Structure 1
């Protein structure tokens, strides 16, 4: 018998318990979950609550439900997409290091391509976002304005896939952004880190844009890693 879940966060807690059981392999890939009535009873919840949790797990790509068959654990390591990232980051902060690595590499490519392709409206939008960062009223507003700068930079490449990739990476760590807010405490300093990127793009200098993006990514990552508070995550289980 599973430990009953308190009713104030029932769906959230049930989703978390089921998600951890799936990722940890207690419900193996390809296996059918127990029948709804049995599973709901084991957690001390009703079937409606269980269905809500299933919907979230399906949105994360962890399970699939078929009428008349039941709910089966997907092969999420083979079939899963980036929609899993926020779930995995919340569970295990080691994923942040992997996101940072991709962030550095993809960001440099995006910066160089944006410098080659950006038109005057793109440059104006980038400079506007630097101003938005500089005038942010608090660290959260500054951080969100900074995220929008990177969406604008990706949009300037003219390649929509880069924009979607940027959204994916942002989606991986924005849910835990309060634990990564150190680079955005000082709005002026945050804007100063972005200003060279915008100006390198404005100058059409791909090499300079790559270097300035790499410098930005390295500096902000160091500040995030140095921050005392950790994301609300748990260590990886093998």
Structure 2
């Protein structure tokens, strides 16, 4: 068995600071108290505080100006999609907004893939679809399903769609286990996704878009029921 990772004091402090920022205790644009004051307030050393600051700066929530101080960034104005996994961990409310984007982007990707997929890509899509039906459990079905969507994005020939697809999947990774509803039955999961793949393979853009919209709407409903 693999040992579970243990939380360090830096992990705990990072989490506490992140929550204090996202809940508005430290509002966007404000400067944090001096390091010594903040460290005393959280009951940690300044060295521990610096390590937590470094993580939050990397995450895009803080910025430090030498001789001025550490300021909370306005992540909604300046941040990127890489913040989504952290925001989902903070509040599941973000899932609804992610699903809205998933529906619109997913339908567009299917439509584009239908007009641009090569013969090799069409064959790859069918092979990946078959892997969904053959997967042994819900987790494996979900991962196999994800690979179909990555392949659809690649088939558009547009690398931005590929990155957007990766971003959306990464965004709900923190709650992926709670979104397994559509993947518990491999045959049913395969059946829901098959019309999308077949329309793309047939080069039928309108049908691919409609099939994707249906697939994304149905799976979203099942996933949200699981979260509820």
Establish whether TM, by shorter chain, passes 0.5: yes
Written as runs of structure 1 = structure 2, the 5 A alignment for 1:127-206 is: 127-206=126-205
Residues in 2 aligned to 1:209 and 1:48: alpha-carbon distance in whole angstroms: 55
Residues 112/84 of structure 1: CA separation in 2 closer, same or farther (3 Å cut):
same
SS at match of 1:71: strand
Residues in 2 aligned to 1:108 and 1:8: alpha-carbon distance in whole angstroms: 40
* Cα-to-partner distance string for 1:174-228 (whole Å, 9 max, x where unaligned): 221001111111112111211111111110000010011111101101111111x
SS at match of 1:72: strand
SS at match of 1:29: coil
Residues 146/59 of structure 1: CA separation in 2 closer, same or farther (3 Å cut):
farther
TM-score, reference length from structure 1:
0.87
Written as runs of structure 1 = structure 2, the 5 A alignment for 1:215-234 is: 215-227=214-226, 229=227
Residues 32/154 of structure 1: CA separation in 2 closer, same or farther (3 Å cut):
same
Which runs of 5 or more structure 2 residues have no equivalent in the other structure? 1-5
Written as runs of structure 1 = structure 2, the 5 A alignment for 1:1-238 is: 8-227=7-226, 229=227
Residues in 2 aligned to 1:13 and 1:139: alpha-carbon distance in whole angstroms: 32
Q: Relative to structure 2, which stretch is displaced further, 43-52 or 188-197?
A: 43-52
Residues in 2 aligned to 1:48 and 1:121: alpha-carbon distance in whole angstroms: 54
Residues in 2 aligned to 1:199 and 1:69: alpha-carbon distance in whole angstroms: 59
Residues in 1 aligned to 2:89 and 2:46: alpha-carbon distance in whole angstroms: 26
Q: Relative to structure 2, which stretch is displaced further, 138-147 or 37-46?
A: 37-46
Give the superposition deviation at 1:9: 4.5
- Equivalenced residues, count: 223
Residues in 2 aligned to 1:174 and 1:184: alpha-carbon distance in whole angstroms: 15
Residues in 1 aligned to 2:11 and 2:134: alpha-carbon distance in whole angstroms: 36
Which runs of 5 or more structure 1 residues have no equivalent in the other structure? 1-6, 231-238
* Cα-to-partner distance string for 1:5-57 (whole Å, 9 max, x where unaligned): xx945333222221121122221222222222322222122334323322331
TM-score, reference length from structure 2:
0.91
Give the superposition deviation at 1:115: 0.2
